[in-house]
């Protein structure tokens, strides 16, 4: 084969030349029991290319990817939580599956996840309940003054201190309703 063609091919596909020092992206290795040990599946950002993943795995973990397959999974259309009749489609997810020269076997899952569940789902529930209880206590304390004012008004009405005010109000009204004695009907005067 001609040496100039080999040189051109090497220039086009430069393996491991893209150096990544502090990545601004997140790559997640996904547990896939149906794939063979020679395959690994990753969730990558949408703007990530096959070459980016290949160079990243080579530089960070010294793993050579023989082939890479990628696909973008569209998310289903959903309704907004705040506006129920507004529909939107969440951002798509991109997955890449690589074929490796050496097998990778996942470690066995732990029997108990308690070490990693410090503030898991149960912790969030109790934290949310505590926050709601704290808000209820604050609301009760804020309304306590209003309750005291209403209590004083109720006491004064029961004691008859407000009668003078009601009689003055009745005199100032233009229309009056008088209860007739015979049948209990109200008559406008």
CATH number of the domain bearing residue 55: 3.30.70.330
Looking at the structure, tell me whether residues 95 and 150 fall in a common domain: no
Residue 9 forms part of a structural domain: yes
Looking at the structure, tell me whether residues 71 and 138 fall in a common domain: no
Residue 126 forms part of a structural domain: no
Looking at the structure, tell me whether residues 7 and 96 fall in a common domain: yes
Tens-place pLDDT, residues 21-79: 677 889 999 998 899 999 999 999 999 999 889 988 888 888 989 999 999 999 999 88
Looking at the structure, tell me whether residues 28 and 94 fall in a common domain: yes
Intra-chain end-to-end CA distance of the chain, in Å: 118
Looking at the structure, tell me whether residues 141 and 66 fall in a common domain: no
Residue 183 forms part of a structural domain: no
Question: What is the C-alpha to C-alpha distance for residues 50 and 66, in angstroms, rounded to an integer?
Answer: 11
Q: For the chain, what is the mean pLDDT? A: 78
Total domains, the chain = 2
pLDDT of residue 113: 76
Task: Quote the tokens at residue 7.
Answer: 């040189």
Looking at the structure, tell me whether residues 71 and 147 fall in a common domain: no
pLDDT of residue 107: 84
Q: Above 60 in pLDDT, residue 189?
A: no
Contact 97, 69 (CB under 8 A): yes
Q: How confident is the model at residue 9 (pLDDT cuts 50, 70, 90)?
A: very low
Question: What is the C-alpha to C-alpha distance for residues 187 and 120, in angstroms, rounded to an integer?
Answer: 69
Looking at the structure, tell me whether residues 33 and 93 fall in a common domain: yes
Q: Which among 60-64, 111-115, 133-137 has the top mean pLDDT?
A: 60-64
* Domain extent at residue 145: 132-161
pLDDT of residue 148: 84
* More confident position, 38 or 138: 38
């Amino acid at each position: 084969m001609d040496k100039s063609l080999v040189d051109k091919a090497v220039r086009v596909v430069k393996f491991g030349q893209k150096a990544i020092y502090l990545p601004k992206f997140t790559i997640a290795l996904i547990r896939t029991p149906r794939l063979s040990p020679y395959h690994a599946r990753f969730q990558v950002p949408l703007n990530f290319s096959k070459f980016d993943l290949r160079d990243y795995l080579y530089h960070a973990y010294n793993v050579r990817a023989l082939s890479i397959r990628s696909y973008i999974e569209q998310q289903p259309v959903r309704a907004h939580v705040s506006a129920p009749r507004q529909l939107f489609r969440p951002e798509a997810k991109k997955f890449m599956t690589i074929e490796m020269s050496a097998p990778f076997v996942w470690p066995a899952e732990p029997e108990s996840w308690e070490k990693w569940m410090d503030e898991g789902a149960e912790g969030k529930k109790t934290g949310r309940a505590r926050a709601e209880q704290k808000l209820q206590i604050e609301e009760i304390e804020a309304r306590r003054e209003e309750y005291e004012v209403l209590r004083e008004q109720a006491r004064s009405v029961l004691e008859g201190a407000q009668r003078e005010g009601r009689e003055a109000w009745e005199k100032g009204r233009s229309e009056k309703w008088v209860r007739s004695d015979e049948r209990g009907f109200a008559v406008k005067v």
